Structure 1
């Protein structure tokens, strides 16, 4: 538990440092808050590893999966921030990661069970896809807010702290493309390795995931063929992400927390 509290503190500290840098000291170097964020991500991952060793297997139940997605989002955010001007992502992502980690730590949850390596591969691909596309959803919201502020000529500190609109949009579509590849691999491994969809109550999850995949695919095609951007890109991204959240966490919430099925 001390690891959880320290990691959560580092996440919140990193988020606060990002806000301070955006609104108060725009010229400050990013080194300290990046180090804080890296420490938080490392401790977050360490807590999962220790929990898996104690439980003799990888835990992928609801709160554990939520925490792992938060970890993936935080790691990707830190990577983006280290290579450019995307520290603003941390204002949203780091508190989410902290809350997800604390939720996992305090939840009892069902006992961990070992998975076949093929199903474990499918689960890891799914978590990576969800984390990547969740970051894309945050980027889409930031893009919408930036466009809205610029239309209203509201050049506040947080707007100036963001990268240029075209750069933010390019990063959004690159993130969606990576997430789309991971989601494609998730669906393929699901078809190959999951044997009985009906017995495992996976049909609705699969349908929603495929719908999300189609929406993301249509968005990428529209970007390539017709140059879709701006509000249209935001709406399609958030619609696809909503379907994905319902597919994975919605179904896990109902099955595990409402119906009590592992």
Structure 2
């Protein structure tokens, strides 16, 4: 009952945060400056949701009576990491607009975890090295998810400006140069954690084929190569705009298949 109550309040707070962001976006799109008091309320609601979500994950995953790291718990943890990192970044950079999509998504993952995680009980991971590998992988995936959402908005921003229609959502976004710079900051941090995840995987994963992880490793390595090429292209050739957005989305799609798609297939379809 306690877990269900915490989950319900967390979901409500996430969707309330998304609604507050939508309200601010509409005012910004109309040319009005959103009040500073509204931003304080937004961050309070957002922070409350993140704090309760962390408590829920502890009770649902790491406690004695938890269900372990099943697919829905993993997706919920990734959503929590995304919400947490985006909140921290939004305090310094004007990228809280990304929460319009990501906060309701986090609320949905909480509901799915409460409703379905118990049907897919997974043993808790005890090995410290494997725990570190999983945490690094989830942090990398969370940061690169934020980068993918930002890349999609950057592509939309580029398209609208080239077609001389900078209204609505585009007017509420930071300038194109700011969006571009922030995108590569997020990609850079995501790439660092992805590299660390792959390196730790070399030491903690004994047999990729026996553990049904070979395909996951292949997709993750290809994604790593794409992000590495993108970062080199940025610093050596000044890649930006639509080119950067396109390859960010391709790299994220491969990472999604590696970390989420493969886990869903193994647990929900193959029952492994």
Shorter-chain TM-score: what band? over 0.9
After superposition, the Cα gap between the structure-2 partners of 1:141 and 1:173, relative to the gap in structure 1 and judged at 3 Å, is same
In the alignment, does 2:51 pair up with 1:48?
A: no
2:231 corresponds in structure 1 to 220
Question: Deviation of residue 233 (structure 1)?
Answer: 0.3
* 2:249 pairs with 1:241: no
Residue of structure 2 aligned with 1:123, choices 123, 126, 134: 134
Preserved contact between residue 57 and residue 112 of structure 1 (Cα < 8 Å): no
Aligned pairs for 1:61-72 within 5 A: 61-72=70-81
Residues 247 and 95 (structure 1 numbering): CA distance in 2 closer, same or farther, change over 3 Å?
same
Structure 1 residues 179-194: aligned runs within 5 Å: 179-194=190-205
Partner SS, residue 95 of structure 2: coil
Alignment partners' CA distance in 2, 1:178 and 1:52: 26
**1:97: how far off?**
0.8
Q: In the comparison of the two structures, how many residue pairs are matched?
A: 261
Pick aligned residue for 1:203 from 214, 238, 259: 214
Residue equivalent to 1:106: 115
For the residue of structure 2 that corresponds to 1:175, the secondary structure is helix
Q: Can you list the C-alpha shifts for 1:159-213, whole angstroms capped at 9, x where unaligned?
A: 2221111111111001000000000000000001111111101111101100000
The C-alpha deviation readout for 1:54-74, integer Å capped at 9, x for no partner, is 435783221111001101111
Partner of 2:82: 73
Q: Which of the residues 240, 256, 262 maps onto 2:267?
A: 256
Q: Does the Cα contact within 8 Å between 1:55 and 1:112 map onto a contact in 2?
A: no
Structure 2 residue runs without a partner (length 5+): none
Q: CA deviation at 1:101?
A: 1.4
Partner of 1:135: 146
2:33 aligns with one of 26, 31, 51: 26
Partner Cα distance (1:191, 1:111) in 2? 23
Specify which of 8, 13, 22 is matched with residue 11 of structure 2.
8
Alpha-carbon contact 2:14-2:45 (below 8 Å) kept = yes
Structure 1 residue 85: deviation in Å? 1.6
Moved more, 18-27 or 119-128: 18-27
State the shift of 1:112 in Å: 2.8
Kindly indicate whether residue 167 of structure 2 is the aligned counterpart of residue 156 of structure 1: yes
Does the CA-based 8 Å contact 1:57-1:114 persist in structure 2? no
User: Alpha-carbon deviations, 1:4-60, whole Å to 9, x = none?
Assistant: 111111111111111111113532221111111111111111101122354357832
TM-aligned CA deviation for residue 154 of structure 1: 2.2
Match of 2:96, SS state, is coil
Q: Where in structure 1 are there 5+ consecutive unaligned residues?
A: none
- Secondary structure, counterpart of 1:88 in structure 2: helix
